[in-house]
Amino acid sequence: MGNILDEKKLEEEINKIKKKGKRLFDKGDYLEAQKLFKNMESSLLKINRKNEALFFSRKYEQIKNLTDQRRETLKLLTQAKFKKDIIQVINLYNEIIEISKELNDIDGIEMYNVKLKEYTKSYKISIPELELKLMVLEEQAAKCESEYLYGAASDNYEKCEKICLLLRQLGEEEEDNLEKFRKKKESLRNIISKQE
């Protein structure tokens, strides 16, 4: 009877910690959520509850990876701004926004969207220039592909994909082209991996 009660108490405690961790995560207190999950993992491992500990370990790693990824992307963004690499800056802002979505960071999503809009306005990005660059890159990619230079073709299709993302962000590109370039890039990477 004592084992059943202890088991029930443990389950209640695990559920309580899961809910508390989710609340911390949802309000953006990632460090506290990580500490909570890491402590719970350690406690569960001490009493040989590996499956439950694994859940908390994965949650800890998920948050850590996302926060690390955002921090690194912000560093890359600073470098790209310094180099005045407009396309890279916009792509990195979009990446940061996507990471912020995964983190449920509503304030971050809003803040980086505003910064992205301010950035694109400040550079008065020329849509015709981007469309021309897209066309040239697509032609280069097709030429490389016809010459069996799959690595170069894949890289050019990836650049086309990034320009499409940028044009889409500016409201000038359709999803179909973006998907077309993405599929071409992936298809070529599959060919390359089979050749290795």
Mean predicted confidence (pLDDT) in 12-28: 90
Mean predicted confidence (pLDDT) in 15-33: 89
| Residue 10, both tokens | 């443990």
User: What contacts 24+ positions apart, CB below 8 Å, involve 189-194?
Assistant: 189/154, 191/150, 192/150, 192/151, 192/154
Asked if residue 170 has pLDDT above 80, the reply is no
| Residue 71, both tokens | 């921090």
How far, in Å, CA of 51 to CA of 154, rounded?
41
Domain total of the chain:
3
Residues 142 and 111 both lie in one domain? no
Q: What is the pLDDT of residue 144?
A: 92
| Residue 112, both tokens | 């980086």
pLDDT by residue (tens digit) across 146-166?
998 989 999 999 889 888 877
Structural domain span for residue 88: 75-123
pTM exceeds 0.85, yes or no: no
How far, in Å, CA of 41 to CA of 31, rounded?
15
Asked if residue 193 has pLDDT above 80, the reply is yes
How far, in Å, CA of 53 to CA of 30, rounded?
19
Do residues 90 and 123 make contact, with C-beta atoms less than 8 angstroms apart? no
Residues 190 and 132 both lie in one domain? yes
Residues 146 and 182 both lie in one domain? yes
Q: Last residue of some domain: 65, 88, 115?
A: 65
Tokens 């963004």, residue? 77
